[in-house]
A and B are shown apart, each in its own frame.
Chain A
Amino acid sequence: MKIGTMLKDVSLAFIHRPVTERYPYTRQATPERLRGRLQWDPEKCIGCELCAMDCPSGAIDLMVLDKKAKRFVFCYHLDKCTFCAQCVQSCRHGCLEMSADDWELASLSKEAFTLYYGEDKDVREALAGTASPDGSGPSSD
């Protein structure tokens, strides 16, 4: 039975720097697999909506303006997203990926949490045509 078994740790602590990361003055490098903000590549999208169907929290709403002409607006609810990357997995054409650098997503207003990806004119048309694309609950078939 010893007394003060952590003496070595405690004595070494005088010379070691504290391990606390002094965020936001320093930022550690993020691994490349980090699941940050979702990014959508419209070129490859065919409008199958598998991503919206499989999202556990209903964060994706793909508004199809013209399927043949491939005019889509990808509405992404950042506040509902759980960053699970199931949409990335479900998409068979590789349109989606999660950014590894864009992970500081806090905001003071709610507007910043609903993102519309797509051509500007498509987005305007989508917003004018439909009501506020808010789904309460998962989007199920």
Chain B
Amino acid sequence: METIPSFFAILIFPSGLFLLVAGLAYEWADRKLLAQLQNRIGPRWFQPLADVLKLMAKEEIVPDGVNVPLFIGLPIIALAGALTAALYVPIAGLEPVRSFPGDLIVTLYLLSLLTLCIGLAGSNTMDRFSVVGATRTLTQLISYEAPFLLAMLGPAIVAGSWQISSITTYTSERWLLLAQPLGFLVAIVGLMGKLEMPPFDAPEAETEVVAGALTEYSGRGLALFHLGKGVEMVIGLTLIAAFYLGGVTSPLLFLLKTLALLLLVVVFQALFTRLRIDQTVGLWWRYGVLLVLVQWLIVIIGQRLVS
């Protein structure tokens, strides 16, 4: 889809406005499904939109002692990074807007930008909750990004390319879920850890550190971080669906597969207690990496045997 001008792509479709709306819609689906699993009614369809509008309308309080340009700029950078990552991913079942060899690595780094910005934002303020939350965010970043990255690289190995569009061409013919189930599991859990969804939400545990790294944020900054997380969820789900669930070649398949993945994520959310930060790191830094390395080993040996 080289025909879409970058300007349009990044502001309207498939990134930009479309992706922001999609992020809100997926957040609503997440909350509604979680509510159904907990035997209650969830929010109405416009709740995430109302939340964002309300936050935009509120006063943004800049606390004392922060680096003001950094305070104001970090949410913008985070959202920008998340939106840019969408250019290389098959959003809405269409071909990625831009594509070049090695764009898988670039996309994954752009996705981590959000977490890094949250960590920086937390360390920026002088509030104790923020500092503790930032420490936890960055710790979790280290323990979840690495397995997630490795799990995303699993399909890249079998496809023999670092370019997302080539990988998706390869995976749309075969379901890597069956060939690499461990990698799939690590990818899903890694996504949940990246997005700080329960049970890995120790960095923003409401009952311990009030809101983690984002405690001092209000108004527009908080709204942008909130939107950034929604966008990342959509992109993360799309990547995993494209790599492991047989590609997203049409908008309908995109919708079905990402919603199926969302259901799985929601079931994980409902079933488990929140883990303490040392438990999350201890668990995943050991088992996650172990699982994905075993997966890689199987893949590489499998490739050698076949060829």
Question: Closest Cβ of chain A: how far from B71's Cβ, in Å?
Answer: 40
* B39 interfacial by beta-carbon distance below 8 Å: yes
Task: Decide if B271 touches A4 in the complex (CB within 8 Å).
Answer: yes
Tell me the B260-276 residues at the A interface (CB within 8 Å).
267, 270-272
Task: Decide if B40 touches A20 in the complex (CB within 8 Å).
Answer: yes
Task: Decide if B37 touches A10 in the complex (CB within 8 Å).
Answer: yes
Residue of B nearest to A21 (CB): B41
Task: Decide if B40 touches A18 in the complex (CB within 8 Å).
Answer: yes
* B279 interfacial by beta-carbon distance below 8 Å: no
Interface magnitude class on chain A: 10 to 19
Question: Closest Cβ of chain A: how far from B288's Cβ, in Å?
Answer: 16
* A19 interfacial by beta-carbon distance below 8 Å: yes
* A6 interfacial by beta-carbon distance below 8 Å: yes
Task: Give the CA-CA distance A55 to B254 in the complex, in Å.
Answer: 66
Residue of A nearest to B270 (CB): A10
Contacting residues, chain B, for A6 (C-beta < 8 A): 270-271
Contacting residues, chain A, for B270 (C-beta < 8 A): 6, 10
Q: How many residue-residue contacts, CB under 8 A, span A and B? A: 29
Bitwise, A1-42 to B at CB < 8 A (1) or not (0) is: 001101101100110101110100000000000000000000
The answer, among A3, A4, A13, A20, for a CB contact under 8 Å with B37, is A13
Contacting residues, chain B, for A22 (C-beta < 8 A): 41
Task: Decide if A20 touches B271 in the complex (CB within 8 Å).
Answer: no
Task: Decide if A20 touches B41 in the complex (CB within 8 Å).
Answer: yes
* B36 interfacial by beta-carbon distance below 8 Å: yes
The answer, among B35, B41, B271, for a CB contact under 8 Å with A7, is B271
Contacting residues, chain A, for B35 (C-beta < 8 A): 18
Task: Give the CA-CA distance A6 to B35 in the complex, in Å.
Answer: 15
Contacting residues, chain B, for A13 (C-beta < 8 A): 36-39
Bitwise, A119-141 to B at CB < 8 A (1) or not (0) is: 00000000000000000000000
Question: Closest Cβ of chain B: how far from A79's Cβ, in Å?
Answer: 31
Contacting residues, chain A, for B40 (C-beta < 8 A): 18-20
Residue of A nearest to B267 (CB): A10
Residue of B nearest to A14 (CB): B36
Tell me the B231-280 residues at the A interface (CB within 8 Å).
267, 270-272
Task: Decide if A18 touches B36 in the complex (CB within 8 Å).
Answer: yes
Task: Give the CA-CA distance A6 to B269 in the complex, in Å.
Answer: 12
Residue of B nearest to A7 (CB): B271
Bitwise, B24-63 to A at CB < 8 A (1) or not (0) is: 0000000000011111110000000000000000000000
Contacting residues, chain B, for A9 (C-beta < 8 A): 39
Question: Closest Cβ of chain B: how far from A93's Cβ, in Å?
Answer: 47
Task: Give the CA-CA distance A18 to B272 in the complex, in Å.
Answer: 21
Question: Closest Cβ of chain B: how far from A10's Cβ, in Å?
Answer: 5
The winner among A10, A14, A19 for most chain B CB atoms within 10 A is A10
Contacting residues, chain B, for A10 (C-beta < 8 A): 37, 267, 270-271
Task: Give the CA-CA distance A16 to B39 in the complex, in Å.
Answer: 7
Task: Give the CA-CA distance A80 to B40 in the complex, in Å.
Answer: 34
Task: Give the CA-CA distance A18 to B33 in the complex, in Å.
Answer: 12
Contacting residues, chain B, for A7 (C-beta < 8 A): 271
Question: Residues on A close to B: CB < 8 A?
Answer: 3-4, 6-7, 9-10, 13-14, 16, 18-20, 22
Q: Which 10 residue pairs of A and B lie closest in terms of their CB atoms, listed nearest first? A: A4-B271, A20-B41, A18-B41, A13-B37, A10-B37, A18-B40, A13-B39, A20-B40, A10-B270, A19-B39
Given contacts A7-B271, A10-B271, A18-B36, 19 further A-B contacts (CB under 8 A): A3-B272, A4-B271, A4-B272, A6-B270, A6-B271, A9-B39, A10-B267, A10-B270, A13-B36, A13-B37, A13-B38, A13-B39, A14-B36, A18-B35, A18-B39, A18-B40, A19-B40, A20-B40, A22-B41
